[in-house]
């Protein structure tokens, strides 16, 4: 059981006592052999750990480690650039603008297998706060980051399946509710005009897939 003396001893060892507390505690140490012995034991333990343990470990394939990070950064920057171009083309900065970018088609086509984004309403240009993600399929990770220049929040989905060749998306339609502009249905079409995927939010703003064509 932790006693007040244990707490003081730990804080003394860790250099966390105030200038007032330290002399008082050191006087206690002077007068209490058992406390002094415990202090000595803990100090030796700390010395042993510091002398034999290093938090830093040699990283295997360190150059490859860095280069993969740089590749991911480059991919992010390319995605940012596309978002900026889309924004500059006048498609607006609403939370649905990401759906209009060509790069998202890969994500959208495979969205059957992933949790879709939940975007609470935000003013144009403001960062959309995504409080949580749900990806029912294991191995898929979702994250977002805000691109200030484009005034858009970018959804990144890692681990998606490749787009089947017969699922080329050539059309997209975003239909807003007449009563609530934030409620919208997004439909993806193939080159035959067939519906590949319909995505929407329910009344509780939870994402749902309404349907898809049976290819």
Query: What percent helix, strand, coil does the chain show, rounded to 5?
Result: 40, 20, 40
Determine whether 172 is exposed, middle or buried from the number of CB atoms within 10 Å of its CB (0-12, 13-18, 19+): middle
The residue (of 82 and 146) whose beta carbon lies closer to other proteins is 146
Choice from 28, 29, 35, 42 touching other proteins (CB under 8 A): 42
* Residue (15 or 33) nearer to other proteins, CB: 15
126 binds other proteins (CB under 8 A): no
CA-wise closest residue to 196 among 106, 97, 91:
106
Judged by beta carbon, residue 14 or residue 202, the one nearer other proteins is: 14
Phi, psi of 207 (to 5 degrees): -75, 150
Among 19, 31, 51, 214, binds other proteins (CB under 8 A): 51
- Determine which residue in the list 48, 88, 89, 170 makes contact with other proteins, applying CB under 8 A: 48
Q: How far apart are the first and last CA of the chain?
A: 66
Residue 44 vs 85, nearer CB to other proteins = 44
Residue at token pair 């202090």 = 39
Side-chain-side CA neighbours of 98 within 13 Å: the count stands at 25
Figure out which of the listed residues 21, 23, 27, 77 binds other proteins, where binding follows CB under 8 A. 77
Per DSSP, what are the bridge partners of residue 197?
A: 188
C-beta atoms surrounding 58 within 10 Å: 6
Q: CB of 35: closest distance to other proteins in angstroms?
A: 15
Residue 212 CA to residue 108 CA, distance in Å, equals 12
Among the listed ranges 54-62, 94-102, 162-170, 176-184, the one in contact with other proteins (CB under 8 A) is 54-62
Footprint (CB under 8 A) of other proteins, residues 129-148? 138, 143, 145-146, 148
CB of 9 to other proteins, least distance (A): 9
Site residues (CB under 8 A) for other proteins?
2, 6-7, 10-11, 14-16, 41-42, 44-62, 65-66, 68-70, 72-74, 76-77, 138, 143, 145-146, 148
């Amino acid at each position: 059981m932790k006693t007040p003396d244990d707490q003081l001893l730990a804080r003394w060892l860790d250099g966390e006592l105030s200038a007032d507390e330290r002399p008082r505690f050191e006087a206690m140490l002077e007068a209490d052999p058992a406390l002094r012995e415990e202090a000595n034991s803990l100090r030796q333990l700390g010395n042993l750990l510091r002398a034999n343990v290093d938090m830093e470990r040699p990283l295997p394939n360190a150059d490859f480690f860095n280069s993969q990070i740089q590749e991911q950064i480059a991919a992010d920057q390319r995605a940012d650039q596309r978002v900026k171009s889309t924004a500059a083309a006048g498609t607006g900065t609403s939370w649905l603008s990401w759906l209009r970018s060509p790069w998202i088609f890969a994500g959208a086509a495979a969205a059957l297998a992933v949790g879709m984004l939940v975007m609470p309403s935000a003013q144009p240009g403001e960062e959309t706060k995504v409080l949580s993600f749900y990806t029912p399929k294991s191995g898929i990770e979702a994250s977002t980051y805000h691109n200030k220049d484009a005034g858009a929040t970018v959804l990144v989905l890692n681990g998606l399946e490749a787009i089947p060749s017969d699922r080329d998306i050539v059309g997209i339609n975003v239909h807003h509710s007449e009563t609530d502009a934030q409620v919208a249905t997004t439909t993806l079409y193939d080159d035959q005009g067939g519906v590949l995927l319909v995505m929407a939010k329910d009344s509780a703003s939870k994402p749902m897939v309404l349907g898809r064509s049976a290819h």
